[in-house]
Structure formats: C-alpha cells, structure tokens
C-alpha cells in the first residue's frame, strides 16, 4: 500500500473525502507498488455514494472506494477494469493526500 503520512504532518493537505473504518475498498492485484490512485467510484448530487458490484462468484457488494496501482491506471484509466479483490478499511485517520492525478 502507499506510504502513510503522519496525521499531524502540517505540510500535507488531505483530500476532502477519506475512507472510513469499515469501508470496502476494491483493489487491483499489485500490492507492492510505489504509486497508487484512489478513486471514489460514484457521485450523486456532488456527494460520494456506494457503487454496487458483482463478484466472480455472483454475489453482490457495494463499495465507495477503489485503490489501483499506477501501472494499471496507465494501461486503462477506468478503475473498474482493474478491480480483482477487496478489503475492509480500518481506522479513521486521514490517509489520502490531496493531489492531482
């Protein structure tokens, strides 16, 4: 996963939206890359909302976030193309710095 910045680091401007404890995160297969891109998967009326998805076994879930490595995004900018797994976010401290992609 990407490096964590100290929460009290005043030089870091945090993104407006952050994953919250218990959020489901869709991910690509590449867990040890240097750069990752975080995406909120759907918005309605300017607010993030969960997106429904179907797993390979046919079960369904909802997720608001995707975390995709730089190589995958450069090959195809649609994060949904690269999601091959999922995980549950733990903690509520800020994690995603505010950066342009």
Residue-wise pLDDT tens digits, 3-48: 555 555 667 788 999 999 999 999 999 988 888 899 998 899 989 9
What is the pLDDT confidence band of residue 60, given thresholds at 50, 70 and 90?
very high
pTM value is 0.79
pLDDT at 4: 54
* Under 8 Å between Cβ of 66 and 27: yes
DSSP letter for 6, please: P
100 or 50, which is more confident?
Answer: 50
Which sign, positive or negative, has the C-alpha torsion 10, 46, 92, 65?
A: negative
- Domain of 47? 26-88
> Within a domain: residue 61?
yes
The answer for residues whose C-beta is within 8 angstroms of residue 34's C-beta and 6 or more apart is 70
> Within a domain: residue 42?
yes
> Within a domain: residue 36?
yes
pLDDT at 1: 46
Which percentage of the chain shows pLDDT scores above 70? 88
| Number of domains within the chain | 1
pLDDT at 95: 86
101 or 70, which is more confident?
Answer: 70
> Within a domain: residue 20?
no
> Within a domain: residue 100?
no
What is the pLDDT confidence band of residue 92, given thresholds at 50, 70 and 90?
confident
By DSSP bridging, strand 43-44 and strand 36-40 are unpaired
> Within a domain: residue 73?
yes
């Amino acid at each position: 996963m990407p490096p964590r910045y100290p929460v009290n680091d005043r030089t870091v401007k945090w993104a407006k939206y952050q994953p919250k404890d218990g959020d489901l995160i869709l991910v690509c297969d590449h867990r040890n890359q240097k750069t990752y891109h975080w995406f909120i998967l759907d918005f309605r009326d300017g607010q993030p909302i969960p997106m429904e998805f179907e797993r390979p076994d046919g079960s369904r879930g909802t997720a608001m976030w995707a975390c995709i490595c730089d190589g995958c995004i450069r090959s195809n900018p649609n994060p949904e193309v690269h999601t091959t797994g999922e995980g549950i976010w733990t903690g509520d401290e800020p994690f995603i710095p505010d950066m342009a992609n």
